C-alpha cells in the first residue's frame, strides 16, 4: 500500500510540474542587434568589425573594394556592404540593403577617414575638399541617411574622432581641422537627439596601428603626379604606415562601450601610452587658461578649481 501511494504521489507531482511548465510562456530570444561600421576594410574599422562580430552582433561592414568586401563577408556575423561615404548613391543603396536585411539598425560607427599633410599655406583646396568630404561630410551624410532606422531602435551613433580633434600642430593642420569639426558635430548631434532616445559618442584614438598614413602618402604622391612628398612630411608621417604601433584593440573596446553601456559617455579618449594622454589633457588645460585670461569676467584659481571639482562630481554621478 505504501509503495502504491508513493508511486501515485510521484506521478501526480510529475504531471503537475509538466502542466505548470506548459502554462509559463517561454521568452523569445532577443533579436540580434545589428551595427553598421564604415571604413571597415583595415585598421581600426576592421578591428571594430571583428570585435562586434565575435561578441555576437551582426555587422554591416562598409568598404569600397571587391576584395575587401569578400574578406569581410567571410567573417561570421558580417555582411560586407559597398559603401563610399562620399557617394550618395552608395549610401542610399546601403540603406536599402540594411532595410531588406530585416534586422533594423541599432548602431552606426562612423569610422571612414582619410588624411592630408603639409603646411596649411601650401595645402591645395582640392586636397582640403578631399579631406573634408570623407572626414566631415561623410559622417554627416551617413548618419542622416540611417537616422530613421536608428531612431526606430533608439540606438547609438559613434563617430571616430581623434586626439587631433583636441591637438593641432605643424603639417597636420588640415587633418586636425576635420577632427575638430567632428567634436562640434558630436556635441550638437547628441543634444539634438536626446528626445529621440538615441545616444551619441565620440571615440578619440591616439596613435594606433592603421593604414591612414600609408594611404596618405599614396594620395599625396598620386595627386602630385607621382612626386613623393618632401622628406619632412614623410618623416613626420612615417613611411611604415604605423606598423610599429599597437593594435587598436582598446579602441574597439571603447566603441563597444559607447554602443552598449547603459549610460554611454560623450567622449572616450583612447591612447596607447601616458605621454599621449598627458599631451592631450595639457592642451585642454592650456586652452582653458587662454580663454580665461585677460578678460573682464575671468575666474581666479580657486573658482576654476571649484568648477573642475563640480564637473568631476557630475561626471562620476553619471558614470560611476
**Known catalytic residues?**
175
Angle between helices 137-153 and 173-192 (to 10 degrees): 20
User: Taking Cα atoms as reference points, which of 133, 113, 108, 311 lies closest to residue 200?
Assistant: 108
152's enclosing H/E stretch is helix 137-153
Q: Cell numbers 580663454 correspond to what residue? A: 291
d(CA 171, CA 80): 35
Q: Tell me whether residue 30 is exposed, middle or buried, using C-beta atoms within 10 angstroms of its C-beta: 0 to 12, 13 to 18, 19 or more.
A: exposed
d(CA 303, CA 43): 43
User: Taking Cα atoms as reference points, which of 186, 130, 191, 131 lies closest to residue 161?
Assistant: 186
Specify whether the CB–CB gap between 209 and 246 falls below 8 A. yes
Strands 107-110 vs 267-270: parallel, antiparallel or unpaired:
unpaired
CB-based contacts of 108: which residues, under 8 Å, 6+ apart?
A: 35, 36, 142, 143, 146, 150, 155, 156, 157, 158
Specify whether the CB–CB gap between 211 and 111 falls below 8 A. no
Amino acid at each position: 500500500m505504501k509503495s502504491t501511494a508513493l508511486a501515485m504521489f510521484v506521478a501526480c507531482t510529475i504531471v503537475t510540474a509538466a502542466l505548470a511548465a506548459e502554462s509559463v510562456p517561454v521568452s523569445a530570444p532577443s533579436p540580434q542587434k545589428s551595427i553598421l561600421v564604415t571604413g571597415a576594410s583595415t585598421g581600426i574599422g576592421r578591428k571594430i568589425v571583428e570585435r562586434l562580430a565575435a561578441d555576437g552582433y551582426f555587422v554591416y561592414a562598409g568598404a569600397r573594394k571587391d576584395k575587401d568586401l569578400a574578406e569581410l563577408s567571410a567573417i561570421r556575423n558580417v555582411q560586407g556592404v559597398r559603401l563610399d561615404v562620399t557617394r550618395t548613391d552608395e549610401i542610399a543603396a546601403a540603406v536599402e540593403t540594411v532595410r531588406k536585411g530585416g534586422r533594423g539598425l541599432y548602431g552606426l560607427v562612423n569610422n571612414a577617414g582619410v588624411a592630408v599633410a603639409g603646411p596649411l599655406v601650401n595645402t591645395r583646396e582640392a586636397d582640403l575638399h578631399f579631406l573634408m568630404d570623407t572626414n566631415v561630410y561623410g559622417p554627416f551624410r551617413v548618419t542622416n541617411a540611417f537616422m530613421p532606422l536608428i531612431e526606430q531602435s533608439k540606438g547609438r551613433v559613434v563617430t571616430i574622432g581623434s586626439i587631433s580633434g583636441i591637438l593641432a600642430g605643424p603639417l597636420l593642420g588640415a587633418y586636425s581641422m576635420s577632427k575638430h569639426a567632428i567634436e562640434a558635430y558630436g556635441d550638437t548631434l547628441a543634444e539634438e537627439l536626446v528626445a529621440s532616445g538615441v545616444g551619441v559618442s565620440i571615440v578619440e584614438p591616439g596613435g594606433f596601428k592603421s593604414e591612414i598614413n600609408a594611404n596618405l602618402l599614396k594620395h599625396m604622391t598620386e595627386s602630385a603626379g607621382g612626386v613623393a612628398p618632401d622628406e619632412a612630411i614623410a618623416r613626420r608621417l612615417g613611411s611604415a604606415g604605423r606598423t610599429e604601433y599597437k593594435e587598436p584593440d582598446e579602441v574597439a573596446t571603447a566603441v563597444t562601450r559607447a554602443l552598449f553601456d547603459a549610460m554611454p559617455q560623450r567622449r572616450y579618449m583612447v591612447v596607447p601610452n601616458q605621454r599621449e594622454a598627458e599631451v592631450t589633457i595639457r592642451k585642454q588645460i592650456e586652452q582653458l587658461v587662454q580663454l580665461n585670461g585677460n578678460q573682464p569676467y575671468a575666474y581666479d584659481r580657486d573658482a576654476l578649481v571649484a568648477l573642475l571639482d563640480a564637473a568631476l562630481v557630475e561626471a562620476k554621478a553619471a558614470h560611476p
